[in-house]
């Protein structure tokens, strides 16, 4: 039998059909993987259509889906399965759990995309065995997951981890959340590309900065400064021993980690900085985490 893991991002939806393994932390066989652009015109319909397509594909492979996990961006009430709000795709108070169950006809688990990715890092990735750590995902936006004793902490109403909306430049550039100077307006992949201009994607901006281009270097340096400011705040509040960097921008590797570690250390004058590691699951963390949620749903009956 098959599990569906679906990660809904602000730009792209990624998914996998995963064969059930004997152990949650064991290697699960990926039967198929797909991605498609997030439908900004009809994001809810796009999610449901993609999920239905995945269920149909599982059936065509002769291994019908038994459960699905869907990781959503924005503010998510995981207890009720509600997509409360997303500044990036514009939905508000969407009963995604009910809609997905009705569309698929199988058990469905709903999670927050970054907390779900953090769960996967705790079970399968760079945070395995760490117990407590912070997982930071940098993509279209920036968000974090606080992992306590291997489990994501959602906060009292599911709003924990919104580090992307920590103000790092008071009075700075406007953010989609309505505030100004938020971390993700300077350091997300979308922001790095936008602030450079000319349609250059963030990965190329970072590469150009490494080659000495002045404009790219200025944009990337400010992004790193803002990230260090945000992580310093998180460190002083939470005292994590480990920060795991994920999302698409983490593919920059040492071009991200080396300067970020030094800038973070420079901001923490009276204490040692936490270790900063790159994800082991790349941009598939939330997909794998969503499959874990689906598996746990079946295990709980």
**Residue pLDDT, tens place only, 116-135:** 999 999 999 999 999 899 99
A 10 A CB-CB count for 221 gives 13
pTM of the model: 0.92
Whole-number pLDDT of residue 27: 58
| pLDDT tens for each residue of 148-205 | 999 999 998 788 999 999 999 999 999 988 999 999 999 999 999 999 999 999 999 9
Looking at per-residue confidence, does 10 or 34 come out higher?
A: 34
Q: Which residue has the higher pLDDT, 301 or 265?
A: 265
CATH top-level class for 129-278?
A: alpha beta
Q: Distance of CA 214 to CAs 193, 211, 221, Å?
A: 15, 9, 10
Closest to 286 measured CA to CA, from 89, 13, 11: 13
pLDDT grade for 88, boundaries at 50, 70 and 90: confident
pLDDT number for residue 22: 46
Supply the Cα-derived Rg of the chain in whole angstroms: 19
Give the phi and the psi of residue 83 in degrees, each rounded to 5: -85, 95
53 pLDDT higher than 90? yes
CATH 3.30.420.40 placement within the chain: 2-117+283-300, 129-278
User: Using 50, 70 and 90 to split pLDDT, how confident is the model at 21?
Assistant: low
Report whether pLDDT(26) > 60: no
Q: What is the mean pLDDT of residues 240-257?
A: 95
- 132's CB contacts (< 8 A; 6+ apart) are 147, 148, 149, 240, 241, 242
pLDDT at position 201 is: 97
Q: What does the pLDDT average to over 205-233?
A: 98
Gap between the Cα atoms of 231 and 137, Å rounded: 12
What is the per-residue pLDDT for 78?
92
CATH for 2-117+283-300? Answer: 3.30.420.40
The per-residue pLDDT of the chain, averaged, comes to 94
Measured distance CA(42)–CA(154) in Å, rounded: 27
Is residue 167 within 8 A of residue 181, CB to CB? The reply is yes
For residues 76-86, average pLDDT: 92
């Amino acid at each position: 039998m098959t599990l569906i893991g679906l990660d809904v991002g602000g730009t792209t939806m990624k998914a996998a059909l995963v064969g059930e393994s004997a152990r949650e932390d064991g290697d699960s066989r990926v039967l198929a993987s797909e991605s498609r652009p997030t439908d900004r015109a009809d994001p809810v319909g796009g999610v449901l259509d993609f999920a239905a397509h995945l269920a149909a594909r599982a059936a065509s492979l002769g291994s019908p889906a038994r459960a699905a996990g869907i990781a959503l961006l924005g503010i998510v009430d995981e207890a009720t399965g509600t997509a409360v709000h997303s500044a990036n795709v514009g939905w508000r108070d969407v009963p995604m759990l009910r809609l997905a169950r009705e569309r698929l006809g199988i058990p469905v688990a709903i999670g927050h995309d970054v907390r779900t990715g953090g769960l996967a890092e705790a079970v399968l990735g760079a945070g395995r065995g760490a117990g407590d750590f912070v997982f930071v995902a940098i993509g279209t936006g920036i968000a974090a997951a606080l992992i306590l004793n291997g489990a994501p902490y959602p906060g009292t109403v599911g709003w924990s981890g919104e580090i992307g909306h920590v103000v790092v430049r008071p009075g700075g550039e406007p953010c989609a959340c309505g505030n100004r100077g938020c971390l993700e307006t300077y350091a997300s992949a979308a922001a790095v590309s936008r602030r450079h201009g000319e349609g250059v994607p963030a990965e190329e901006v970072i590469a150009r900065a490494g080659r000495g281009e002045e404009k790219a270097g200025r944009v990337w340096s400010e992004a790193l400064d803002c990230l260090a400011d945000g992580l310093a705040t998180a460190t002083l509040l939470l005292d994590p021993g480990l920060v795991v960097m994920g999302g698409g921008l983490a593919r920059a590797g040492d071009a991200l980690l080396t300067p970020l570690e030094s800038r973070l250390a420079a901001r923490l004058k009276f204490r040692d900085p936490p270790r900063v590691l790159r994800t082991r699951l790349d941009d598939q963390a939330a997909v794998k985490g969503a499959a874990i949620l689906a598996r746990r749903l079946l295990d709980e009956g």
